[in-house]
């Protein structure tokens, strides 16, 4: 790159690259298509468009909701390390992390809204006839408040009001932890599924959420650097290195809980998870478990972080991406597999199947793709305008020197 090219970029920080435009149009189109499939399902009816049934009422979109909501919780935890607990190492990535937390919880709410046959009833009757004894009411109310708090928090950070951001960051952290710890209660009410009733589940959800937050932070910060073609500062690299080490600890904890899950569900005679764990470990979902939950979510990220010594940004980004994919398999299995065991299977009812079945429909697949694309679309928009703010005060001489060194 010549000095004239770098000077033009410095004078015009609002300029957007062609790859940026192409990616934006690609993800924006998928978002519109996914939402269109969701609206079509609302009009036509879920019975003819979704793969869920009366016996298996929760499917891909519930898993999508849990995935994005947990990721947002983890991102909020990562952001709070810098703005709430005052760890200076994390401050360079705090603002971007808070934005990602907003976008991911919005994607989760989008998934659950399009999964409901009458989503407009939620905001109406949550206010007109609140039911404090309902886990679902608490979850929708807390996450709605959480989204508002995060939005105000981002505004305070963006305008440099750190004292106000501290309080809104703290309230956001409390709200997301309260909602995440309530996850087990939400899931276990569905037909008293014993697959979700283990005592370790609340802690397991918090660890997985934090791991998702670390993974998303690693991947999207790398993606932002490649997207805007700027040199990643040493401060950001140091933050990602610490997050990589923190993620490595969480990965080892996740592996311990995975082993605990196998022991509790397969070997523990006091548990009623035996059939579900057999289906997960040896049956139709074994590839999901060994390839996704174990391989992508634990083994490969650990190897990448160790090989990269928690310093190689590319290795950290790859570890983050593979962990995100693998953890989705874990959440999908957690939501679906427990439902595939008929509630009355242990009573040996004649002509009753041992296992139920579920396959996501095209509508569910496209809505999920739309939710993922929504996250990337919002992130691309954010990075464009965020770079306008962060690029403006850059000293041109320093910029030339950085480019020439590269």
- How far apart CA 380 and CA 388 sit, in angstroms, is 13
Task: Give the pLDDT confidence of 320-349 residue by residue, as tens digits.
Answer: 999 999 999 999 998 898 888 877 666 666
Angle, in degrees to the nearest 10, between helices 362-391 and 60-83: 20
- How far apart CA 228 and CA 221 sit, in angstroms, is 11
More confident residue, 237 or 136: 237
* Residue 401: partners with Cβ closer than 8 Å, 6 or more residues away: none
Q: In the chain, what percentage of residues exceed pLDDT 70?
A: 82
Torsion of CA 28, 34, 37, 42, to 10 degrees: -100
| Cα 394-395-399 angle, rounded to 5 deg | 85
Task: Give the pLDDT confidence of 92-135 residue by residue, as tens digits.
Answer: 999 999 999 999 999 999 999 999 888 888 888 888 888 777 77
Report the sign of the C-alpha dihedral through residues 190, 367, 144, 331, in that order.
positive
Look up the pTM and report it: 0.88
* Residue 377: partners with Cβ closer than 8 Å, 6 or more residues away: 24, 27, 28, 31
- How far apart CA 158 and CA 388 sit, in angstroms, is 13
Give the pLDDT confidence score for residue 330 in this predicted structure.
93
Question: Does an H or E element contain 162, and which?
Answer: helix 162-181
Task: Give the pLDDT confidence of 234-288 residue by residue, as tens digits.
Answer: 899 999 999 999 999 999 999 998 888 787 666 665 455 677 888 888 888 999 9
Q: Mean pLDDT, to the nearest integer, of 135-146?
A: 83
DSSP assigned state of 340: G
Residue 3: pLDDT over 80: no
The radius of gyration computed from the CA coordinates of the chain, to the nearest angstrom, equals: 22
Nearest to 191 by CA among 360, 361, 69, 345: 345
Q: Are 49 and 58 in contact (CB under 8 A)?
A: no
Domains of the chain, start order: 32-380 (1.20.1630.10)
Q: Are 109 and 142 in contact (CB under 8 A)?
A: no
Question: Does an H or E element contain 77, and which?
Answer: helix 60-83
């Amino acid at each position: 790159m010549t000095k004239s090219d770098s000077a033009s970029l410095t004078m015009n920080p609002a300029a957007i690259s062609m790859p940026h435009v192409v990616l934006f149009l690609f993800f924006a189109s998928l978002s519109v298509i996914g939402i269109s499939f969701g609206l079509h399902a609302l009009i036509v009816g879920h019975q003819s468009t979704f793969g869920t049934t009366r016996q298996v009422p929760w499917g891909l979109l519930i898993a999508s909701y849990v995935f994005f909501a947990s990721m947002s919780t983890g991102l909020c935890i990562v952001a709070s390390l810098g703005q709430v607990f005052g760890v200076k190492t994390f401050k360079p990535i705090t603002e971007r992390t808070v934005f990602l937390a907003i976008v991911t919880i919005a994607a989760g709410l989008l998934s659950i809204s399009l999964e409901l046959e009458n989503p407009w009833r939620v905001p109406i009757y949550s206010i007109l006839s609140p039911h404090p004894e309902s886990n679902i009411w608490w979850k929708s109310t807390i996450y709605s408040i959480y989204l508002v708090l995060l939005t105000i928090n981002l505004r305070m950070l963006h305008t440099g009001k750190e004292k106000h951001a501290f309080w809104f960051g703290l309230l956001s952290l409390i709200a997301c932890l309260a909602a995440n710890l309530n996850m087990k209660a939400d899931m276990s009410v569905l037909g008293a599924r014993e697959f979700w009733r283990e005592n370790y589940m609340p802690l397991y959800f918090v660890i997985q959420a934090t791991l998702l937050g670390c993974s998303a932070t690693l991947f999207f910060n790398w993606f932002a650097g490649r997207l805007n073609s700027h040199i990643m500062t040493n401060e950001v690299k140091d933050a990602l290195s610490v997050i990589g080490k923190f993620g490595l600890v969480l990965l080892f904890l996740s592996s311990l809980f995975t082993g605990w899950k196998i022991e509790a569900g397969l070997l523990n005679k006091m548990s009623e998870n035996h059939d579900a764990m057999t289906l997960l470990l040896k049956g139709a979902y074994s590839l999901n478990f060994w390839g996704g939950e174990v391989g992508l979510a634990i083994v490969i990220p650990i190897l990448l972080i160790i090989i990269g010594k928690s310093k190689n940004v590319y290795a950290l980004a790859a570890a983050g991406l593979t962990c995100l994919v693998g953890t989705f398999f874990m959440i999908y299995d957690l939501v679906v597999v427990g439902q595939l065991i008929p509630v009355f299977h242990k009573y040996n009812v004649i002509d009753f199947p041992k296992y139920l079945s579920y396959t996501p429909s095209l509508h569910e697949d496209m809505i999920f793709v739309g939710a993922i694309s929504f996250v990337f679309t919002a992130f691309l928009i954010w990075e464009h305008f965020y770079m306008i703010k962060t690029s403006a005060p850059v000293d041109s001489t320093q910029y030339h020197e950085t480019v020439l060194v590269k």
